[in-house]
């Protein structure tokens, strides 16, 4: 019946085709929507904005401009980003559709996102499709369906599980991605592209600010006083001229029991979520999983910029691990909310409520807010996971610093200046900010002191100035992934063994990033893997580290080294003797300040064979962090 109704619609559509607006079919690419223009548009309102720039990970294989479909003489191309590591289990595929009002934009805009996702194990594809300068709706729908079929056809080549194909997109691309999921199995939307014998079914959808409805609210009409709207250009009709076509192109018209699980990652721009609640209501009636993740205070193009880029990656990864599940061990949840609608109003109260010598995994979920409290996790409070509602707006902070007199009359030192201190083993924190806001001139002011063994931090921010992150236990093993660490002097320091994966290290002063005090008997100290080292653009004399103790061990592997790092790379700390025994090393770094020929002579450049020994298992002495 649906196919018959669609044919009737096409017949009615053909009777009115003469009235269709075709002035937008210029055959000239519209380049107005791009990252630089979006940056210029938003920087005044978002002074913290930083472009999420792409950089090629050694662990990711990139293939550009592969032809996935040919229509007459028009070749449609796709880019592929895949993990280059030895293949084991079949991977989940993510097909990402760029935005731009179905008229502008380019598949390269989301290369940084694809690189990040491929670096954590996904096989990512970014196809181009015919824009409204070239062809009207439903050409783009047909092209994206073709891209899905091409990916499934080549699943074995790219080591992809054909039952784990995810469609995702932003803005207009989000609408197209939602349309793919909403029309799963509907033959009338397949078009005449490649591999028609292959299924275009998708197994999950991630919609980033893509509309779900072109017709809700019913009385809303796009402002076209300055020219046709993006949708009018795409359809060739104004909403008032052909409302049925606008409805027919809406994902909301087709959602049903055939639709796969959905994730919505949304900005704070409400109009970009049109039809979402109605769409979710249909999914709920069909018992289909969906979730909404909102990045409060963000612009529509949030995924192109820091500070929202990393959170977008984490949200996507977490959703896909939920849809294609692994084991889940957390059994109890405590909610902290300053508004009084949780179990406790402070984080310390929630921690205090956990039984001494606890052995059961417990989540403490912290709602948005600035929690100004000095927080201690006692050694008897193990197996705690702290999760913030979102990392930008869930802030745990205090302002102690060296020289300050405490409430008990003692003089604060570096070791007592912490805002958050963890003595317990098996601790995890996700999606929150840990900060010391004592200020630039306060001297040593620790944000986090982490002493316990097996500490994991995912998608967290550590903010301060001098001595921000204190890893204070030579027997402790710590893991940091997709974290942002910002400071001035020695802002990552201590004796622990710590692995930093895909972290963003931001320097605010010409000083030192690390001051490791690794004991001689520990083979590894700090390992930075696939991290990005940047800072204030006025800086050019930052050191990768100085040896706080004689056997300091710091290694940077496959990292981007920005212009802020001085050519010699490292410091010998005022010509002390520590540099003679220090263990500073680099391998395969890249970027403007990565030239190994300019490094100080006592820093080691690892060979490929030596670098192979720096595995997570070796560095963390057999401990495998649980990331879910």
What per-residue confidence (pLDDT) applies to 553?
97
Looking at residue 298, the DSSP 8-state letter turns out to be -
Tell me, what's the pLDDT at 326?
63
Tell me which residues are annotated as active site. Answer: 467, 490
Mean pLDDT to the nearest integer, 425-446: 96
**What integer pLDDT is reported at residue 16 of this predicted model?**
44
Tally helices (H) and strands (E) across the chain: 12, 35
Lowest mean pLDDT among 389-393, 396-400, 466-470, 552-556: 389-393
Mean pLDDT across the chain = 93
Q: Which domains does the chain have, with CATH numbers?
A: 2-323 (3.40.50.1820), 370-378+389-619 (2.160.20.10)
Whole-angstrom Cα Rg for the chain: 26
- Angle between helix axes 111-119 and 309-323 (nearest 10 degrees) is 50
Q: What is the percent of the chain with per-residue pLDDT over 90, rounded to a whole number?
A: 82
pLDDT at 628: 64
Mean pLDDT of the 542-561 span: 96
Q: Does residue 422 have a pLDDT over 80?
A: yes
pLDDT for 13 beyond 50: no
Cα–Cα dist 235/249, whole Å: 9
Residues whose CB falls within 8 Å of the CB of residue 322, separated by 6 or more in sequence, listed in order? 289
* 207-229 average pLDDT score: 89
Q: Rounded distance, CA 488 to CA 495, Å?
A: 19
Q: Render 426-456 in DSSP notation, one character per residue.
A: S-EEES-EEEE-S-TTS-B--SEEE-SSSEE
Left if phi > 0, otherwise alpha if psi is -120 to 50, otherwise beta: which for 347?
alpha
Separation CA 190–CA 146 (nearest Å)? 8
Edge-to-edge strand ranges of the sheet holding 469-471:
375-377, 420-422, 448-450, 469-471, 492-494, 514-516
> Which is more confident, 114 or 6?
114
pLDDT (0 to 100) of residue 401:
97
Question: Which tens digits make up the pLDDT trace of 461-489?
Answer: 999 999 999 999 999 999 999 999 999 99
């Amino acid at each position: 019946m649906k196919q018959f109704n669609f044919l009737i619609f096409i017949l009615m559509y053909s009777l009115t085709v003469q009235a269709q607006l075709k002035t937008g079919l210029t055959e000239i690419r519209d380049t107005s929507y791009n990252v630089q223009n979006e940056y210029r548009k938003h920087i005044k309102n978002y002074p913290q904005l930083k472009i999420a720039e792409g950089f090629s990970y050694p662990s990711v294989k990139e293939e550009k401009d592969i032809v996935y479909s040919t229509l007459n003489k028009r070749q449609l191309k796709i880019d592929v980003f895949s993990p280059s590591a030895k293949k084991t289990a079949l991977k989940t595929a993510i097909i990402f559709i760029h935005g731009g009002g179905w008229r502008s934009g380019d598949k390269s805009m989301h290369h940084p996102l694809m690189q990040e996702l491929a670096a954590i194990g996904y096989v990512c594809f970014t196809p181009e499709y015919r824009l409204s300068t070239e062809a009207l709706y439903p050409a783009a729908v047909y092209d994206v369906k073709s891209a899905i079929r091409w990916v499934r056809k080549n699943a074995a080549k790219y080591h992809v599980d054909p039952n784990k194909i995810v469609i995702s997109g932003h803005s207009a691309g989000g609408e197209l991605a939602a349309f793919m999921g909403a029309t799963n199995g509907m033959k009338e939307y397949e078009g005449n592209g490649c591999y028609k014998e292959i299924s275009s079914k998708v197994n999950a959808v991630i919609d980033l600010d893509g509309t779900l409805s072109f017709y809700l609210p019913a009385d809303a009409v796009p402002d076209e006083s300055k020219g046709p709207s993006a949708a009018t250009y795409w359809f060739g009709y104004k909403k008032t001229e052909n409302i049925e076509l606008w409805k027919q192109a809406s994902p909301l018209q087709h959602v049903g029991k055939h639709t796969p699980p959905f994730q919505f990652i949304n900005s704070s721009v409400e109009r970009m979520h049109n039809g979402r609640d109605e769409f979710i209501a249909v999914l709920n009636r069909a018992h289909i999983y969906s979730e909404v993740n909102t990045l409060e205070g963000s612009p529509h193009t949030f995924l192109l910029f820091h500070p929202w880029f990393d959170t977008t990656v984490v949200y996507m990864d977490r959703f896909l691990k939920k849809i294609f599940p692994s084991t889940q061990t957390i059994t109890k949840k405590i909610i902290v909310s300053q508004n009084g609608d949780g179990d406790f109003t402070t984080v310390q109260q929630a921690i205090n409520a956990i039984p001494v010598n606890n052995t059961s995994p417990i989540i403490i979920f912290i709602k948005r807010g600035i929690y100004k409290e000095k927080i201690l996790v006692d050694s008897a409070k193990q197996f705690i996971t702290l999760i913030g509602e979102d990392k930008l707006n869930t802030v745990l902070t205090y302002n102690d610093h060296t020289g300050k007199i405490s409430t008990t009359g003692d003089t604060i030192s570096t070791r007592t200046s912490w805002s958050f201190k963890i003595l317990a083993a098996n601790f995890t924190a996700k999606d929150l900010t840990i900060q010391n806001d004592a200020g630039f001139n306060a001297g040593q002011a620790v944000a986090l002191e982490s002493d316990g063994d097996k500490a994991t931090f995912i998608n967290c921010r550590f903010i301060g100035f001098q001595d921000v992150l204190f890893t204070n236990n030579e027997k402790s093993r710590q893991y940091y992934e997709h974290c942002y660490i910002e400071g001035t002097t020695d802002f990552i320091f201590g004796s622990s063994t710590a692995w930093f994966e895909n972290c963003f290290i931001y320097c605010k002063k010409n000083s030192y990033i690390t001051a490791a005090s690794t004991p001689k008997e520990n083979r590894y100290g700090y390992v930075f893997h696939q991290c990005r080292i940047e800072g204030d653009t006025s800086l050019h004399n930052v050191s990768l580290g100085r040896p706080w103790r004689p056997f300091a061990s710091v290694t940077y592997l496959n990292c981007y080294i920005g212009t802020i790092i001085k050519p010699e790379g490292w410091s010998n700390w005022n010509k002390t003797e520590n540099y003679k025994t220090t263990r500073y090393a680099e391998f395969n770094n890249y970027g403007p300040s990565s030239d190994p020929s300019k490094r100080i002579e006592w820093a080691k450049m690892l060979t490929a064979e030596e670098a192979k020994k720096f595995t997570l298992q070796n560095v963390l002495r057999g401990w495998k962090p649980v990331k879910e």
